[in-house]
Amino acid sequence: MSIVKREVIGNQTLILGDCLAVMPTLGRFDAVVTDPPYGIAHKSGGGTGGKWHNVKHQGVTIAGDSEPFDPAPFIAMGVPVIMWGANFFSDRLPGGGWLIWDKRPGIEDMVFNRSDSELAYFSGSKTVKTIRHLWHGICRDSEVGQHWHPTQKPVAVMEKCLGFLPDAKTILDPFLGSGTTLVACQRMGRAGTGIELDPDYFDIACRRVDEAARQPDLLIPETRQAPVQEGFDL
């Protein structure tokens, strides 16, 4: 069965299952915004399951990271695609633009050899655009210290991705992870659908989207009706 579980929270639909099996059962979307497995473990000869060995996520397994990633099924959808980590599989991508997330690292990031930027492929562009968002130290922990996934992006970065897609009202994230894309969709009034293979990450994503749905939509202008003045017979 392609769909193991489905949750609808606010404007967002979260699906537990394999995205390649689930996608044919869904309708059309206006854009794809996602952070897929990069195939890093495959390239580096890592162990089965793609284990990350940084301090915070030592030994964490990412489903699909032990195989070379194929972007073709998502490019073939014929809609704008923003895909993080695409520098690891750029040889399998058609022409397009790039987004650069400038993290503005501090000294500690350089000491520990962390990347000071990350790249995303953007099929809807032919240019290179920069997203500047500080992401280290106190600022990295600003999202209530909640960093569940090794490649998790800040909500603000995913909101800026959606900002590059002003006409996209329906968004697909086939590799939902901890749910940041759908949190951004909820905050920005977009209808998102996310698919996640790992049950633990699926539960985290559901919880995060539910929290976002319970908060006021600070980024969506409130529509107020003009007061109606009743007439009086004089």
Strand partners, 97: 122
- Written as one letter, the residue type at 28 is R
pLDDT value for 218: 53
Beta strands in 18-59 (DSSP E): 31-34, 51-52
Task: Give the start-to-end residue ranges of the domains of the chain.
Answer: 3-36+71-214
pLDDT in tens, 189-212: 999 999 999 999 999 999 999 999
Please state the separation of Cα 116 from the chain's center in Å. Answer: 19
Q: Is the pLDDT of residue 126 over 60?
A: yes
Place of tokens 């979307």: 29
pTM of this prediction? 0.79
Residue 103 has a pLDDT of 83
As a whole number of angstroms, the distance between CA 25 and CA 43 comes to 32
**In the prediction, which pLDDT does 34 show?**
97
Report the C-alpha gap between 151 and 57 in whole angstroms: 10
d(CA 178, CA 212): 13
Give the residue among 176, 217, 145 at the shortest CA–CA distance from 34: 176
Q: Does the structure show a pLDDT above 90 at 94? A: yes
pLDDT of residue 187: 95
Q: Looking at the predicted structure, is the pLDDT value of residue 59 above 80?
A: no
Fold designation for 3-36+71-214: Rossmann fold (3.40.50)
Q: Which two tokens stand for residue 56?
A: 């915070």
Give residue 124's pLDDT band: very low, low, confident or very high (50, 70, 90): confident
Amino acid at 101: W
User: Cβ(12)–Cβ(194) under 8 Å?
Assistant: yes
Contacts 24+ apart (CB under 8 A), 149-152: 149/57, 149/177, 149/178, 149/201, 150/52, 150/54, 150/56, 150/57, 150/60, 150/62, 151/35, 151/38, 151/62, 151/84, 151/85, 151/177, 152/177, 152/178, 152/180
More confident residue, 85 or 65: 85
The average pLDDT across 76-80 equals 96
Distances (CA, A) of 205 to 54, 57, 151, 166, 178: 22, 18, 14, 24, 5
- Determine the average pLDDT of the residues in 94-118: 75
* Average pLDDT along the chain: 80
Asked whether the beta carbons of 20 and 73 are under 8 A apart, the reply is yes
CA distance 34 to 211: 21
Judged against a pLDDT cut of 80, whether residue 142 lies above it is answered with no
| pLDDT, position 68 | 82
Do residues 170 and 190 touch, judged by C-beta distance below 8 A? Answer: yes
